[in-house]
Amino acid sequence: MGRGALWIALFAAAIVLLFPLRMALGVVNAERLGLSAREARGPVWAGRLIEARWRGLALGDLDASLSPVQLLVGRVRLDLSGDGDMRGAVSVSRNGAGIDDVSGRLPVEGLFEGLPLGALIATDVSARFADGVCDRAEGQVRAELSAALPGVSLAQGMTGRARCDGGALLLPLQGASGLERLDLRLFGDGRWQARLQIAGDGAALSAGVLERSGRL
């Protein structure tokens, strides 16, 4: 490598290393992903998001860093980690966006209006949307209820594995007894649909079914 090419490479590397995290959020188009923060501090390789939120969900303060490896394959990925066990990433490519390897407890009480959800505990959850349509999803989710349902025991919550269904990210959650099921669908434009069904003689809901929908 000639001296001129070396200086150009070093200059380009310096720009990447010193690029402000605040500006990187614009490049990633974080608002399209629903990610926001009261303040973004530091460079993109070792920054911090203060009072981060995802579509109304409070995430707290998060460390954020750009993944140089993903840049080589045409994706912009921000790795995120919280003060507790929260970790994961958001990424954007030419025609897609999504989350990668998200693990941790997400307090969602009040986020899905009409549903008795208190928290979602994610384990290595990834989901990709291409042109607004879910085309890949994986990982395990466990839901904790924020209120008890009469005649129903869900002390262990409801669990299931994320997958794509009909263009949406589907969380098919089921209780330990197999009689309780919650299908929660998340769409690329922020809409959500839910169907909670409880079988058996002690069904707490009218006809054993509760359906709700909204927008995050």
Could you read off the pLDDT of 16-26 as tens digits, one per residue?
Answer: 555 678 777 77
- Domain end: 38, 64, 94, which one? 94
Query: pLDDT: is 204 or 143 the higher one?
Result: 143
Domain count, the chain: 2
Spatial contact of 161 and 174, defined as CB atoms under 8 Å apart? no
Bin 10: left if φ > 0, else alpha if -120 < ψ < 50, else beta. alpha
**What does the pLDDT look like over 106-118, one tens digit per residue?**
989 888 998 888 8
Percent above pLDDT 70 for the chain: 80
CA nearest to 122, candidates 99, 141, 98: 141
Residue 146 and residue 161 in one domain: yes
> Does one domain contain both 193 and 104?
yes
Q: What is the model's pLDDT at position 195?
A: 93
Containing structural domain, residue 133: 96-215
Contact 181, 171 (CB under 8 A): no
129: amino acid identity, one letter: F
Same domain, 190 and 117: yes
Determine if the pTM surpasses 0.85.
Answer: no
pLDDT the model gives residue 214: 92
Same-domain pairing of 145 and 59: no
Considering the domain architecture, whether residues 12 and 80 belong to the same structural domain is answered as yes
